[in-house]
Structure 1
């Protein structure tokens, strides 16, 4: 018979697994890809690890972490032999030990929003499409305030102030030195440039800020004009985040009004990657986009 302590530990472990981190989910999904590419079953991996197949299943689902020793065993089994590539996998498996700057706000923000912030702190590249609004990484404080308020007026409440603070802090990823600055390739729909979020003056400052951001060496900014017509993927926003090489694992973020959804399966990342390539090829060039942004800013009424 098990002791009460054993039952308590089991309950804690189950609770801890209920919300996998994005890092674990990406690692698990790609470990599953490696296994399936080799034509192996859960039982094969479990036999090599000397464990039950359920443990391997939990790792692949991101509900459980994996020890470095066990990961090395699986990488051997899956034929990942290059030192550089193995280092990338092992780094992804390590949970970050440094203090995250947003932890002091954990009790004020939704967990899925914190997942997004943590993801941007881990990855080195972001590609995406935003048809109707300027992305958070490029928002000015005035524009971000108007977005967070959602059309209401007055002072921000506690949660809204926390969101604004985090949104502004997130942008530091574009200028960080270690790791290297976040590389961003973003396509904006023309509607995102014309929707007068916060009013004409707020939007003008936002558009001029976009021009400045687009000139950063690690940022590519394009506009998909109204004249482009129909395009692959439709008017749905998405972001594709890539972890550092050599592993270069990817995760797709689908963001809506209420929550975030993360897709790690290779078919999902490939499908959205193809849609992004089509959209960027259809969009205006970076120079043409800068010109259009400037034209729209100059057309806005002045106070």
Structure 2
């Protein structure tokens, strides 16, 4: 099935969870522990339902509607939204479920639903801008415990992300990228792969939905101490942003509003010190010429 179906399912779950959280506050139950005690269920289960990570069962839905004393009209509306969260419509990445982690699958769902991405990368290029050979080299290093078949499957997933988000999308993802000049200079996969990647970068950076900017070496103090991160925004203003940050422990999901505001400020600061789009393309051209 298409990405839009998967995104509809995920957004229904996120929207439903946010509505439950609001109803909890309005009803006087301040904590999930209070609700869990009243229903006789586990706090972690309710937390996962509110964050859209788990489907709410019909039994728990009925219990929550009673507990929060939701009026019949509003209850009917929520029942329809609840039904949407339970529709099983397999997304495009289903055939790759054996190599996709639960965290990565959740990221794919958010990306498929997003309208805009703000991404900062220090040493590698954003996934949606990578060639197959570049992605193969990066994945081979990042997932050394996987077999060659599994690595190739993950590279295929990255290629499909590009198709669904940019190449074949009716409404392409609006991509705002800031990268360091070092990410252009690093020879990932050898000289041939490097030159091929730079050529591809020049081509894809002209895509109308892509804004690519480079932080030059002379501004290194502004960018060197910040780890890679990505912020996703959604077309529905009621759905909050979500961010992903890289650490030694892997990708971290960030949805706390204070952290998100800080990341937005960071991205604006990085954009301010980065070169313009045209100047950034000139640096890519000069980097490619050095490889000739």
TM over 0.5: yes
Q: Spell out the pairing of 1:99-110 with structure 2 (5 A cutoff).
A: 99-110=90-101
Shift of 1:165: 0.8
Matching residue of 1:255 = 246
Write the distance in 2 (CA, Å) between the matches of 1:183 and 1:149.
Answer: 28
Shift of 1:107: 1.5
Q: Spell out the pairing of 1:206-285 with structure 2 (5 A cutoff).
A: 206-231=197-222, 234-256=225-247, 259-285=250-276
Instruction: Say if 1:26 and 1:249, in contact at 8 Å, map to a contact too.
Output: no
Shift of 1:63: 5.0
Matching residue of 2:108 = 117
Shift of 1:259: 2.6
Q: Structure 2 regions of 5+ residues with no counterpart?
A: 1-8
Q: 2:169 aligns with which of 167, 174, 177?
A: 177
Matching residue of 1:144 = 135
3-state secondary structure, aligned to 1:229: helix
Write the distance in 2 (CA, Å) between the matches of 1:240 and 1:218.
Answer: 16
Shift of 1:121: 1.5
Instruction: Say if 1:243 and 1:249, in contact at 8 Å, map to a contact too.
Output: yes
Alignment RMSD, CA only? 4.1
Q: Structure 1 regions of 5+ residues with no counterpart?
A: 1-20
Determine whether 1:65 maps to 2:55.
yes
Write the distance in 2 (CA, Å) between the matches of 1:37 and 1:176.
Answer: 42
Shift of 1:250: 0.6
Shift of 1:24: 8.2
TM-score normalised by the chain length of structure 2:
0.74
The count of aligned residue pairs is 267
3-state secondary structure, aligned to 1:247: coil
With 27-36 and 135-144 compared, the bigger mean Cα shift is at 27-36
Distance 1:100 1:29, change over 3 A: closer
Matching residue of 1:159 = 150
TM-score normalised by the chain length of structure 1:
0.72
Matching residue of 1:288 = 279
Cα shift readout 1:180-233 (whole Å, capped 9, x = no counterpart): 211110101111000011112211111121122211111110001111132279
Instruction: Say if 1:184 and 1:220, in contact at 8 Å, map to a contact too.
Output: yes
Cα shift readout 1:271-297 (whole Å, capped 9, x = no counterpart): 111111111111001111011111101
